[in-house]
Amino acid sequence: MTIEVKICGLDRAAAVDAAVSAGAHYTGFVFYPPSPRNLTPESAALLTERVPSSVTKVGLFVDPTDAKIDSVLALNDLDMIQLHGSESPARVAEVKKHTGLPVMKAIKIASARDIDDASVYYDIADRILFDALAPAEMMGALPGGNALKFDWTLIARLVVPLPWMLAGGLTAENLAEAIRVTGAPVVDVSSGVEDRPGVKSLDKIRAFLAAAKKL
């Protein structure tokens, strides 16, 4: 099967161009001020306008207000909203209705119980993203993009009744194993294609997408 790839946290024009030209199916733009990958609506607009209509543009938010989302959508023609915080199913439904866009809900996993908790979103979200839950003692941990992976065997035989993505600690080197264990149809990478937090490596972007194509 074809493994689709989302390159998230894109930070500059060259990174966007590298992701698109190397075959990314999704591009991700972060709107969360504590993140080193954070963009303003204005800076994001210079990047999202470079993405062709054949590639899905995803905006990542963490427990956003409607006003926050509106400020981004006023300048950016996004195709999907990604909610990466503690949003309830009701809030996911509100964002869908407010924006008229499909919504992807991130589920952070540390144990099987976290996977069970995901089921409450299955009838609400348009897509699920399984990511690693940062341990409480991890200093400076973000809601995502922490270069952490979870135990992939937890979702090895999981039946998800809607499209889903795998994220968390993925690199070009471990991608094949991640797909072998989980059977993920789509993967999402951010820190795994960076030289340092918030700074994408063009070479690593190309290498990750090349590794995906081999699968």
The distance from CA 109 to its chain's CA centroid, rounded to whole angstroms, is: 14
pTM listed for this prediction: 0.92
Domain that includes residue 107, residue range:
4-214
Structural domains of the chain, count: 1
Q: Which residues of the chain are modeled with pLDDT < 70?
A: 1, 134-148
Q: H-type helices in the chain, by residue range?
A: 13-21, 41-48, 66-73, 89-99, 112-118, 175-182, 202-214
Please calculate the CA angle 212-109-89 and round it to the nearest 5 degrees: 105
The catalytic position among 8, 114, 126, 151 is: 8
Question: 89 and 124 in contact (C-beta within 8 Å)?
Answer: yes
Tens digit of pLDDT for each residue in 106-154? Answer: 999 988 888 888 899 999 999 999 998 864 444 444 454 455 688 999 9
- Can you give the pLDDT at residue 1? 67
Is 131 annotated in the active site?
A: yes
Domain at 171, CATH number: 3.20.20.70
Cα 106 → chain centroid: 8
pLDDT of residue 137: 42
Is the Cβ–Cβ distance between 76 and 101 less than 8 Å? no
pLDDT at site 157: 82
DSSP strand E in 34-185: where? 56-61, 80-83, 103-109, 127-132, 164-167
Per the residue annotation, which of 114, 116, 131, 188 is the catalytic one?
131
The whole-angstrom separation of Cα 176 and Cα 113 is: 26
Judged by DSSP in three states, 31 sits in: strand
Q: What is the pLDDT of residue 147?
A: 57
